[in-house]
A and B are shown apart, each in its own frame.
Chain A
Amino acid sequence: MNPNSNTRIRRFSPLQRLFHSLLILSFLTQGSTGLARLYIETSWGKRLAWVFGGYQSCRTIHIYVGIFLICLFVIHGLYLLTRINWREFPSTLFGPDSILPRPKDIKDFFQHVGWFLGKAEPPRFDRWGYWEKFDYWAVFWGIPVLGLTGLLMAYPLAASRIVPGWFLNVTLWVHRIEAILAMCHVFIIHFFIAHLRPHSFPMDRAMFEGSADLSATRHEKPAWVERLAQEGKLESVLVPEAEVWKRALFLLFGYCAVAIGVFLLIGGMVNSPYITW
C-alpha cells in the first residue's frame, strides 16, 4: 500500500491534540505530587516526593500546575465557544457532531452491553461514542471541582475569609476522593480502552496523530463514516498516515504515560493501608 495514500480519517485538530497532551502532562504531575504528599508516611511516598524535590516542593509544584490546569480549562472553555455554530444555535448543540450527551447515548450503552453478552447487534456509533463523551465530561466536571477545592486548601488564610475554616475539612475529602476517582478511571478504564483492548492495541493513536484508521473507524463508528459519505465530506477528511518516527514517538509518549499511571496505581493501592486517611 502506498504510504502516502489517504487511509485515515481526521478526528482531532492540532489544537485539540495540544490540549490533550498538556492535560496528560499536567494530570500525571498532579497525580504524582498529590500522591507523594498523601503517602509521605510511607517509603514509597518519600521516594516519589524525592523526585520532585521533597515534601514541600511537591506542594509548590502541585499548586502551580493546578493553576496551570485551571487556566487550560478556561482557555478550553473559550475555545469551545469558538467551535459552536452560532448560526444554527442551539440545534447544532444536539447534532451528531456535538459532544453533548444525547438520549441515544443511553440506548447505545445498553445495546453495547447487550453486544458484549452476545444478545444484541453492536450499536452504530456516530462521531462520538458514549464512553468518549463520559471521559470528556468527567474531566470537564473534575477540573473545576479539584481546582476550586485545591485553591481553597492552597490558600487557607484567604479562603477562610470567604468560607468558615471547618469547610476546609470538607474540601479536603472532596479533593481527595475526586482525585482518586479521576486517577483510577484514567489509569484503569481509559488506558484499557485506549491501549489494551484488542481493537486499539497497542495504542489508539487518534488523539496524538489526529486521525484514525478508516477501516477500523468504518467498523467501530459506521454511522459517522456513512454520514460523511452521504454528505460528500468523506474525501475531504481523509489524510495519510504519519511518518514512522512520529508514530514511534506517539507510542513512546503514550506508553510512558501508561507506565507512570500503572506505577501510581499499584503503589497507591499497595501502600494505602499504611497511611493516615
Chain B
Amino acid sequence: MQAALINPVSRLLQASLRTATVLLLGLAALVIVLPAPVWAQKEVTSKIYRQHEEGTSLPVIGGQILRTEVLTLAPTAARVRIRKYLPDAHVGLKFYQYRTCVQCHPQQARSLHEVRAKITCRQCHGKGGQTGGIYQPSNEIPPLPLLVVPGFEPIPEMDQYLAQNVIPPTTAVYDREPIAGINHYYSPMNRLRRHAYVCAKCHPGASASFATYVVHAPNPAMKTTQKRFPLQFFVFWSMIALAGGTFVVFLPHTALWGIREFLMKMKKEKGESEPKQQH
C-alpha cells in the first residue's frame, strides 16, 4: 500500500523536475540569445564615457558621488535635486539601461516638441554628438545635429517639417550618454547657455528669454499646475469659464428658439390645413 503511494509521488516529482529543468534551460537560452528588452533603444552608458566624465567633472560637484543634504524634508527629492548638478544625472541607477526616459519622467511626456516634431528626449537633453563630451570652454561651439531614432520612419505628411532638421542617422543614440543634470555647470541644458546650445538648434537666434518657454508644460487643468505655473492655470480656467458660460447660455437658448418656431410653424400649417378639410 505504502509503495503504491510512493511510486506516483516520486513519478510526479521526477516529472516536475524534468519540466523545471527544461524551462530553466529554455529561459537561459532566451536570455543568452534574445536582446535585453529595451536595448533596441540603446539607453546605455559606456564605461569610456563614464570615465571621461569623471575626469572632466568639477571637484565641487564631486564627480559621480551622490551626496545627501544635511537637512531635508524629502530624502528622495533631495537626491533628485542633487542629480540635477551631476555630469551624469543617471549614475548608479539600477537597471537604467532597461528603462525609457518617460518611465521615470512621466510628466515630461507632455511636450509638443515630441508630439508635433518628433524630437526625442536626447536630442535636447543628451550632450552634443560632435562635442566629444560635455561642453567645455576651450571647445569651439559645435553644430549639434538632430537625430533620427534608428528604425523611425517620419510620417510622410510631416516630411516637410522634419526634413529641415533631420540628418542621416550616423550618430548612435548612446553617443548622447551620459546625460548631464540640467544644472550641471557645463551642461548644454544649463540655463546659462540653454538658449544657444539647445533651443538655437532649431530656432536660430533664440534668446535667454525665449529659452524660458516651458517645453514640458504641465496640464493646465490640473490642480497641481496652480503651484507650478499659476498664470497658465488661471488663464486656462478663465477661458474655459468664458467658453462654458457662452454655451451654457446660448445652446439652450438656441434650442428653445428652434423648438418654439417649429411648434409655431406646425400650428400654422395645421390651422391652414383644417379649413381645407372642412371644404
Contact = CB atoms under 8 A, between A and B. Distances in A.
Contacts of B214: 166, 169
Contacts, number: 117
Contacts of B235: 170, 173-174
Interface stretch (B17-25, B59-67, B247-255): B247-255
Interface string B217-236: 10110000000010110011
Interface stretch (A21-29, A63-71, A183-191, A239-247): A183-191
A249 B209 CA distance: 52
A50 B53 CA distance: 47
Interface stretch (A8-16, A51-59, A100-108, A257-265): A51-59
Given A160-B210, A276-B110, A116 B256 contact: yes
Contact of B247 (A37, A164, A173, A184): A184
Contacts of A189: 250-251, 254
B20 to A, nearest CB: 46
Interface string B257-272: 1111110110000000
Interface stretch (A74-82, A90-98, A192-200): A192-200
A192 B246 contact: no
A258 to B, nearest CB: 15
B206 interface: yes
Contacts of B116: 37, 40, 55
A40 B112 CA distance: 11
Given A113-B253, A156-B203, A197-B257, A40 B210 contact: no
A1 interface: no
Nearest to A53: B160
Interface stretch (B84-92, B130-138, B170-178, B237-245): B237-245
Interface string A174-213: 1001101100110011001100111100000000000000
A165 B232 contact: no
B260 A115 contact: yes
A199 B261 contact: yes
Contacts of A198: 258, 261-262, 264-265
A169 B235 CA distance: 11
A17 interface: no
Nearest to B218: A169
Contacts of A163: 209
Contacts of B98: none
Contacts of A184: 243, 247
B209 A46 contact: no
Interface residues of B, number: 47
A55 B115 contact: no
A239 B231 CA distance: 54
A132 to B, nearest CB: 13
A173 B256 contact: no
A87 interface: no
B21 to A, nearest CB: 48
B39 interface: no
B278 interface: no
B260 A55 contact: no
Interface of A: 37, 40-41, 46, 49-50, 54-57, 112-113, 115-118, 134, 156-157, 160-161, 163-166, 168-170, 173-174, 177-178, 180-181, 184-185, 188-189, 192-193, 196-199, 276-277
* The 8 nearest A-B residue pairs measured at CB: A160-B210, A165-B213, A165-B212, A116-B256, A177-B239, A181-B243, A198-B261, A56-B160
Given A116-B260, A166-B229, A189-B254, 7 more contacts: A46-B157, A54-B159, A115-B260, A118-B260, A173-B235, A181-B242, A198-B261
28 contacts: A40-B157, A49-B157, A54-B161, A55-B158, A57-B160, A113-B256, A116-B253, A116-B256, A116-B257, A116-B259, A117-B256, A118-B260, A157-B203, A160-B207, A166-B212, A166-B213, A166-B214, A169-B229, A174-B239, A177-B239, A177-B243, A178-B239, A181-B243, A184-B243, A196-B258, A197-B261, A198-B264, A276-B112
